[in-house]
A and B are shown apart, each in its own frame.
Chain A
Amino acid sequence: MAKKNVSVWTSIPFWRRSAAWVTGFAVVLLIWLSFDTLGQISMGTDEDLKSGVTKRVPGPTVINYNIDYKFSKKRGSEVPIIGDKEPFFGKEWSVEDAAALLHLGKLTSQAKNCMNCHTLLGNGAYYAPDLTKAWLDPTWEAMGYFGQKTKEEGIAHFLQHPAENAIHTRRMPNLAITPEEAKGLVAFLKHMSSIDTNGFPRNFSKTVEQFKQGGTNAR
């Protein structure tokens, strides 16, 4: 018996089943990806830092450590390197105090709407410099920490008096940031710079000259 000449492409059940399959698969995939992300973005603990366990987002006590940015040939991007301990505002912060300071910094960054001009971890604007790795910016050192002894004091000083210490034609306005809030913001920035962002923002550690030569500022 000769087979009937049929058109599958014009059959509605074929398209209905294909659409159901693709949609169903995408739903399962997105739910899976959401749970997969949780492991990537969950914060590490103080024990992780002490035992050298690498987490994408280290715990708040990372502010007690030196943070460097190095180019990893294996990863093909710059990665934050958590080094030896160093005092932060002259002391070592406990787990609770570091978490509280970081929380204050986060709330302040939201209250003062940093994202209105800056970018944090890919969110925000590009009117002002990207803050994702701001702690590692060599500009702080180049500016002599604005007459302060340490980098954290220098950044805190700048945050309280940005208009007077403008280093850019797009001046940051004075936002009435208190000394305590400034400390929190510096802790927030230091913690953010320790987050492994797969090298984002791209070429942060390069100057224009280094970029032309293919080199990098990251040691």
Chain B
Amino acid sequence: MFFEPFTDVVPSFFGWLNQGPLTLTIFLHTIIVLPMFWIYFQEKKKLEEA
């Protein structure tokens, strides 16, 4: 199963994200990389309009 039931001793957000293989890594990369697309297109627009 990709998502396992929470088994850690002390409940924590990161513990919950870290239950499956690579789930924490995939989550963190997604929220870091997605806004960079937005930054890219904003800068592109600025350069085109300059």
Contact = CB atoms under 8 A, between A and B. Distances in A.
Interface of A: 3-4, 6-8, 11, 13-14, 17-18, 21-22, 25, 29, 33, 36, 39-40, 54-56, 74-76, 196
B14 interface: yes
Instruction: Give the one of B9, B28, B35, B40 with max A CB within 10 A.
Output: B9
A49 to B, nearest CB: 14
10 contacts: A6-B47, A6-B48, A11-B47, A13-B46, A18-B39, A21-B35, A21-B39, A22-B32, A22-B36, A36-B14
A39 B12 CA distance: 9
B13 A36 contact: yes
B7 interface: yes
Given A6-B44, A6-B47, A55-B10, 10 more contacts: A4-B48, A7-B47, A8-B40, A14-B39, A14-B43, A25-B32, A33-B14, A39-B10, A40-B12, A76-B7
Contacts of A74: 5, 7
Contact of B43 (A11, A29, A39): A11
Contacts of A22: 32, 36
B47 A54 contact: no
A56 B32 CA distance: 31
Contacts of B9: 40, 54-56, 196
Interface in B1-50: 5, 7, 9-10, 12-14, 28, 31-32, 35-36, 39-40, 43-44, 46-48
A76 B36 CA distance: 37
Contacts of B44: 6, 8
Contacts of A8: 40, 43-44, 47
Contacts of A25: 31-32
A17 B39 contact: yes
Nearest to A77: B7
